[in-house]
Each structure stands twice: as C-alpha cells, then as structure tokens.
Amino acid sequence: MQVFRRPANPMQWNRLFRNKAPGTDIWAALCEARADGSDPAHQSGVRYPLLVMVRSSEDELEGKVFSLLKTYGWQEPQVKRLKKVAQPFHSDDSMMQACYEGVMQRDGGIVVYSDPLEDD
C-alpha cells in the first residue's frame, strides 16, 4: 500500500491546504488493525501496529481514525494511545514526516510497522 505521494510542487499544495480545518488539532494515534488483503504487502487477517495522524476535533477523533484505516484496507481497528501533535511538527524520521505531510495535504497519514502482532 502506498499511502504517501509527494506532489510535484509542495509549496502550492501547502498554500492550498494551509487552513483546511481551522480550529482543529492534529492528532497521532497508536493503533492495531487487521489487514483486509487489499495490499499484498500485508497478509490478510494479520494484525499490525500502525501510527495514524489525522486533523480532527477531539469529539470526532476516533471516527476519523477508523474511517481512514478502513479506506486504506484495515479492519477491526483499536486505538491504543492518542496524543495531540505539537506544532510546528518536525521529525528526523522520514516516515513520520511523510505521515504528518499526509495530514497537511490530504485526509491523514498512516505508518504501518513491518512486524505483525501475534494474536492473543
């Protein structure tokens, strides 16, 4: 699954979406979910840890996280931890930065950790 795509001219996108949702915060959610098999990189039915970033009010946060995960082929999501993302955001980790840019340019960003979880 390719979740992040970099636009040809990021400055234009940043201006266009700068105030996409005024009054809402950016949140990071540590989650677990099962792959639905739509992405061959993740075996169907296997649980994976995920980091999801979305822009949302606190009231709509869990629904937005679940909706984004479902859109990208994840079932039975569970939110383990939530944290408001400090602004301005910067990370030396390129995947974390790309996840954040997914929030700024689209609906959100997802990082899938490569090692699946064992079922209890």
β-partners of residue 79 are: 31
pTM to 2 decimal places: 0.76
How much is the pLDDT for 107? 80
pLDDT in tens, 59-109: 999 999 999 999 999 999 999 999 999 888 888 988 888 899 889 888 899
Burial of 93 (0-12, 13-18, 19+ CB in 10 A): exposed
């296997």: which residue's tokens? 46
Show me where the domains of the chain are located: 24-112
Give the tens place of pLDDT for each residue, 20-58: 445 589 999 999 999 999 999 999 999 999 999 999 999
Q: Is the pLDDT of residue 5 over 80?
A: no
